[in-house]
A and B are shown apart, each in its own frame.
Chain A
Amino acid sequence: MNKISIDPITRLEGHGKIEIFLNEEGEVANAYFQVPELRGFEKFAEGRPVEEMARITTRICGVCPEAHHMAASKAADAVYHVEPPPAGKKLRELLYSAFFTGDHTTHFYALGGPDFVVGPDAPAAERNILGVIKKVGLDAGGKVIKLRRDAQRTVSIIGGKAVHPVCGLPGGVSKALTEEERQEIEGYAKDAVEFAKFSIKVVDDIVLANKAYVDLIMSDAYTQRTYYMGMVDANNKVNFYDGKVRVVDPEGKEFVKYAPSEYQDVVAEMVEPWSYLKFPYLKKVGWKGLVGGMDSGVYCATPLSRLNAADGMATPLAQAEYERFYQTLGGKPVHNTLACHWARVIELLYAAERWLELAQDPQITDPNVRTIPTATPTEGVGIVEAPRGTLTHHYITDENGIVQKANLIVGTTNNNAPISMSIKSAAQGVIKKGQPVTDGLLNMVEMAFRSYDPCFGCATHSLPGQMPLEVIIRDASGTEIQRLKQNC
Chain B
Amino acid sequence: MVKTLVLGLGNPILSDDGVGIEIVNRLKSLVRDDDVVIEEASIGGIRLVDMMAGYDRAIVVDAIKTRGGVPGQVYRLEVEDLAGTLHASSPHDLNFYTALELGRTMGMQMPGEVAVFAVEVDNIDTFHEGCCPEVERAIPEVMDAVLQELQS
Chain A positions within 8 Å of B, measured between CB atoms, are 1-11, 13, 36-41, 43-44, 56, 58-60, 62-63, 65, 106-107, 110-111, 114, 124-125, 127-131, 133, 138, 141-142, 145, 148-149, 152, 162-164, 446, 449-450, 453-456, 458-467, 469, 486-487
Report A-chain residues with C-beta under 8 Å of the C-beta of B86: 125, 128, 130
A38/B12 in contact, CB under 8 A: no
7 tightest Cβ-Cβ pairs between the two chains A and B: A128-B88, A44-B127, A460-B44, A461-B44, A466-B95, A467-B90, A40-B127
Question: How far apart sit A467 and B92, CA to CA, in the bound complex (Å)?
Answer: 8
Report A-chain residues with C-beta under 8 Å of the C-beta of B91: 111, 446, 449-450, 453-455, 467
Report B-chain residues with C-beta under 8 Å of the C-beta of A454: 91-92
Number of interface residues of B (CB under 8 A): 61
Question: How far apart sit A130 and B118, CA to CA, in the bound complex (Å)?
Answer: 27
A41/B90 in contact, CB under 8 A: no
A145/B49 in contact, CB under 8 A: yes
Among B88, B96, B105, B141, max chain A CB count under 10 A is at B88
Whose C-beta in chain A lies nearest to the C-beta of B120? A6
A59/B12 in contact, CB under 8 A: yes
Q: A9-B65, A36-B125, A63-B93 are in contact. List 9 more A-B contacts (CB 8 A).
A: A7-B66, A11-B65, A39-B126, A63-B43, A125-B85, A129-B46, A149-B50, A461-B17, A463-B116
Whose C-beta in chain B lies nearest to the C-beta of A10? B65
Check if B28 is an interface residue, CB within 8 A of chain A.
no
Question: How far apart sit A255 and B94, CA to CA, in the bound complex (Å)?
Answer: 38
B42/A62 in contact, CB under 8 A: yes
Say how far B101's CB is from chain A's closest CB, in angstroms: 7
Report A-chain residues with C-beta under 8 Å of the C-beta of B23: none
Question: How far apart sit A453 and B124, CA to CA, in the bound complex (Å)?
Answer: 23
Check if B26 is an interface residue, CB within 8 A of chain A.
no
Q: Which of B81, B95, B106 contacts A6 (CB 8 A)?
A: B81
A–B Cβ pairs within 8 angstroms, 6 of them = A7-B66, A8-B82, A9-B65, A38-B125, A38-B127, A138-B105
Interface hits, B50-66 → A, CB 8 Å: 50, 62-66
A7/B67 in contact, CB under 8 A: yes
Report B-chain residues with C-beta under 8 Å of the C-beta of A460: 43-45, 92-93
Say how far A300's CB is from chain B's closest CB, in angstroms: 16
A463/B62 in contact, CB under 8 A: yes
Contact with A along B112-143 (1 / 0, CB 8 A): 00001010000011111000000000000100
Question: How far apart sit A107 and B92, CA to CA, in the bound complex (Å)?
Answer: 7
Say how far B65's CB is from chain A's closest CB, in angstroms: 5
Say how far B79's CB is from chain A's closest CB, in angstroms: 10
B87/A487 in contact, CB under 8 A: yes
Report A-chain residues with C-beta under 8 Å of the C-beta of B27: none
B76/A3 in contact, CB under 8 A: yes
Question: How far apart sit A148 and B82, CA to CA, in the bound complex (Å)?
Answer: 24
B76/A487 in contact, CB under 8 A: no
Question: How far apart sit A342 and B66, CA to CA, in the bound complex (Å)?
Answer: 39
Among A40, A59, A149, A465, max chain B CB count under 10 A is at A465
B125/A461 in contact, CB under 8 A: no
Among A163, A460, A461, max chain B CB count under 10 A is at A461
Question: How far apart sit A65 and B13, CA to CA, in the bound complex (Å)?
Answer: 13
Say how far B95's CB is from chain A's closest CB, in angstroms: 4
Known: A37-B125, A463-B82. A6 touches B93 (CB 8 A): no
